[in-house]
Amino acid sequence: MLNYTLFNMHTHTHQNPNLLEYLDLLKKSYRKFYGENLDDDLYESRSVIASHTNIKNLISDWPRSCQVFERENNTNPVFIFANRRAQELWEMDWQEFINLESRYSAEPEERQAREHLLNEVQKQGFINNYSGVRVSKSGKRFLIKSARVWQVLAEDGLGALGQAVCFED
């Protein structure tokens, strides 16, 4: 199953330059907020890396200028990237993960705290050292420790396109 997942991810990535461009902005935003670089190959990184957006059709509509993206903010952001480690941890393949409303990565009793975190990231641009409980597809609970969560910024200064998380613990 893992080889199939890797094949699908790499095929999807190579056929979708819009996702590659978004991931480049994700890396640049991380460097801006933390003064460090992420691994060149985010998909194979030893860190868990995932990103969500609430901009409708962000990746599929990328060729349009960011100015004309439907800034229809869905109330529930959807994942648009999850590296191999994130897929393993949440026990989901690529297609399952990138179609998941990100709130479902946490159990119902953890969602209010998660929402508070995301609001703080939106205000401050980034957060260091976040910890929180999450749940996998099979219901396994796990504690995220020392996570960094940041805004993925558009290069044209039009604000955030999404948010991302990176952690090893």
145: number of Cβ within 10 Å: 12
Q: Which two tokens stand for residue 121?
A: 């990231």
pLDDT of residue 32: 96
Low-confidence residues of the chain, pLDDT below 50? 1-14, 63-71
Q: Rounded to whole angstroms, how far apart are CA atoms 145 and 132?
A: 7
Going from N- to C-terminal start, the domains of the chain cover 2-167
What is the pLDDT, as a whole number, of residue 99? 86
What's residue 68's pLDDT?
41
Q: Which CATH architecture has domain 2-167?
A: 2-Layer Sandwich (3.30)
pTM: 0.84
Q: What is the pLDDT of residue 65?
A: 43
